[in-house]
Amino acid sequence: MEKIVKELKPFFEPNAVAIIGATDKKGKVGNVIFENFEMNKERGVFRGRIYPVNPKLDEIGGYKCYHTVGELPNDTDLAVISIPARFVPSTMRDIAEKGIKSVIIITGGFGELGEEGKKMEREIGEIARANGIRVVGPNCVGVYVPDTGVDTVFLPDNKMDRPESGPIAFVTQSGAFAAAMLDWAAGVDIGIGKMVSYGNKLDVDDADLMDYFIHDDSIKVVTFYIEGVKDGRKFIDAARRITRVKPVIALKSGRTEYGAKAASSHTGSLAGADTIYDAVFKQTGIIRAEDFEHMFDMAKAFAKCRLPRGDRVGIVTDGGGAGVMASDAVARFGLKMASLSEESLKYLKEHFPPHAVVGNPTDVVGDTDAQRYRYAIDAFVNDPNVDAIVVIVLFQVPLLDEMEVIDILAEYAKKSDKPIVAVAMGGKKTDYYARILEDKGVPVYPTPERGVRALAGLVQYSRYLERIKG
């Protein structure tokens, strides 16, 4: 097994987790984390053992409570720490002595709060390095893995929802952002396979995680929210390795002077000149997101779509205005409008009524049925001049059988080697149909711009792969 996999695996799939600072006081961080594991154990999702540690308690929720780290059983391979900052260094020494090699430090109040905190943080770092301990944190919400039941997110269920599993990994420096994002992902049905919030990034960093995710087959696309990178060389090398294998999307904030200043108050990150990050991302094939909607719009496309062979986009729509907006977006995001082959044009003219618009965009118009979509998608899929397809479905039009058009889209998305993304603008009914369509493997976007922009991400990555491999 790769060294990095061996080192980081306990964070995602521990045999036994020690929860240091576990308590029975409802709502406290050490209680929420303990209950997360306990509940996931009950549900049969967490398969490891759970060892609460608290000097004042003998048991918590029916689990034997250990008074010290020293007393812990020897199979403990992950420690989650949520005790006040001043106790963390000595606990780290106990952990080192016990031989536990993976530690998540939830506790805040270190490097982000001035000199004394920084000193403690350095001390913890030295203990870790001297003993081969890998540390996630401090000042973080830790790790969330729905498949294995690891969940150190200390926000209770009544505060946030948790997303189901999926092929997207999400790594973030910011803890509150982690919580907000998980909650958001749950709300829009985006599956997150692994979430890591590393806070002050004392040890385990973006590069380590990229190296880990290379070997993680459950993860198809990796997303990062970062405010700054400490070891540029290490980051670049790891990025180059992973982007050969799977796409990486980064949302790097602190881009502007204002943002950089705010980032420095937040995680102590020195943001550095943003143009450098831009260059590094380009060089290493990392796709940069403008904001978190952009990041997850692209992640969804990567998770569900094949990569396009080129940048020539075909657009099918039942609303002319939406087709115009999508065409503008094709230009705005650096793609090309495909010129349909004579054969496609002839095929569509044969099958369409005269008031439908054959071309690119092809407008099946407002009185469309699902069958017109089938003809259009079929033509675009088979047209050698088309590399990628945007299908706009305004489900509101009166004669369209929603489930029929959904099945047609799903069928072609499955059998075509071209990426197909859908755009559906609307309200509750549209949301409902969009979920069904996504479950069947087609990513759906709420505006033409966001659909085309997601496709542009696929094109960018596809070009990068060609460049480094060709």
Contact 185, 213 (CB under 8 A): no
| Residue whose CB is less far from a second copy, 37 or 51 | 37
Region near a second copy per CB under 8 A, out of 71-79, 120-128, 323-331, 458-466: 323-331
* Residue 425 interacting with a second copy (CB under 8 A): yes
Q: How many residues bind a second copy (CB under 8 A)?
A: 86
* Residue 331 interacting with a second copy (CB under 8 A): yes
Closest distance to a second copy from the beta carbon of 97 (Å)? 30
* Residue 421 interacting with a second copy (CB under 8 A): no
Cα–Cα distances in angstroms (integers) from residue 96 to residues 70, 121, 123, 401, in the given order: 10, 16, 13, 63
| Residue whose CB is less far from a second copy, 175 or 457 | 175
* Residue 165 interacting with a second copy (CB under 8 A): no
Task: Tell how far CA 430 is from the center of its chain.
Answer: 24
In a 13 Å sphere around the CA of 62, the CA atoms on its Cβ side amount to 6
Residues 35-54 touching a second copy, rule: CB under 8 A, are none
- Cα dihedral angle (136, 138, 140, 145), rounded to 10 degrees? 20
* Residue 171 interacting with a second copy (CB under 8 A): no
* Residue 445 interacting with a second copy (CB under 8 A): no
Region near a second copy per CB under 8 A, out of 68-76, 144-152, 354-362, 378-386: 354-362
Longest dimension (CA), the chain: 81
**The one among 50, 179, 381, 406 contacting a second copy by CB under 8 A:** 179
Residues 360-389 touching a second copy, rule: CB under 8 A, are 361, 363, 366
In whole angstroms, what is the distance from residue 320 CA to residue 357 CA? 9
Residues 260-289 touching a second copy, rule: CB under 8 A, are 261-263, 265-267
In whole angstroms, what is the distance from residue 195 CA to residue 143 CA? 6
Residue 232: phi and psi, rounded to 5, are -60, -45
* Residue 156 interacting with a second copy (CB under 8 A): yes
* Residue 458 interacting with a second copy (CB under 8 A): no
Residues 385-414 touching a second copy, rule: CB under 8 A, are 394-398
Tell me 29's DSSP state. Answer: H
Tell me 55's DSSP state. Answer: T
Region near a second copy per CB under 8 A, out of 60-68, 130-138, 236-244, 428-436: 428-436
Closest distance to a second copy from the beta carbon of 394 (Å)? 5
Q: Which residues contact 10 (CB under 8 A, 6 or more apart)?
A: 77, 78, 101, 102
In whole angstroms, what is the distance from residue 228 CA to residue 270 CA? 6
- Measured from the Cβ of residue 259, the count of other Cβ atoms closer than 10 Å reads 16
Closest distance to a second copy from the beta carbon of 273 (Å)? 14
* Residue 71 interacting with a second copy (CB under 8 A): no
Closest distance to a second copy from the beta carbon of 330 (Å)? 5
